[in-house]
Structure 1
Amino acid sequence: MLWFLVVGVIAGWLAGMISRGGGFGIWGDLITGIVGSYIGGFLFNLMGIATYGLIGSIIASTIGAIVLLWVIRLFRVADPAYKKKE
């Protein structure tokens, strides 16, 4: 159970660094990584790729977390205050 949480935090932090340029805090990283681990495991299983060990789990979880963040950004409403000035 402890390794699952460690992998979740690492994967969430890596996904935040890759897709946004920063982490989401310890709880945000943990939730992103844990949900990403399920998504990554599902995607890797669909492709017939097996991951082994700690490094394989981190890679699959990070890829799943990046996919999760990408999907969230597809459906997120743009903030009107963030509009580009003309």
Structure 2
Amino acid sequence: MGIIGWIILGLIVGAIVKAIMPGRVGGGWPTSLVLGVVGAIVGGWIGDLLFGGGRMEFWNIGSWILAIVGGLVVAGVYGAITGRSHRSHA
């Protein structure tokens, strides 16, 4: 799957991440969608490393799982970083 496929998948994953982690990602929908795209690309990169890049297709359930996991990890890291900075200013 090419980069455009991962971007489209990432936008969908961003919406899924926003639904799964509703209060943990600040910045609203635009931030969630960007984090979903980054997470999907990271998940795809990890999948390529682990599985040799052979079966990474848009309609493959493994691609979706990797993208969602990548999105959750990226959103969690983002939430942890921005959460610390908000607490230090309060």
TM-score range, shorter chain: 0.5 to 0.7
Distance change (3 Å), C-alpha of 1:38 and 1:29: same
| Deviation, structure 1 residue 5 | 4.5
Distance change (3 Å), C-alpha of 1:55 and 1:16: farther
| Deviation, structure 1 residue 14 | 0.7
Q: Which one of the candidate residues 27, 32, 43 is aligned to 1:29?
A: 32
Q: What fraction of aligned residue pairs are identical, expressed as a percent?
A: 22
Q: Which has the larger radius of gyration?
A: 1
What's the counterpart of residue 81 of structure 2?
Answer: 75
Query: Alpha carbon RMSD of aligned pairs, Å?
Result: 3.0
Structure 2: runs of 5 or more not aligned: none
Structure 1: runs of 5 or more not aligned: none
What pairs with 1:1-86 in structure 2 (closer than 5 Å)?
Answer: 1=4, 4-18=6-20, 20-21=21-22, 24-25=28-29, 27-48=30-51, 50-56=55-61, 57-76=63-82, 77=84, 79-80=86-87
Normalization by structure 1: what TM-score? 0.62
Q: Distance in 2 between matches of 1:39 and 1:21?
A: 21
Deviates more, 1:31-40 or 1:48-57: 48-57
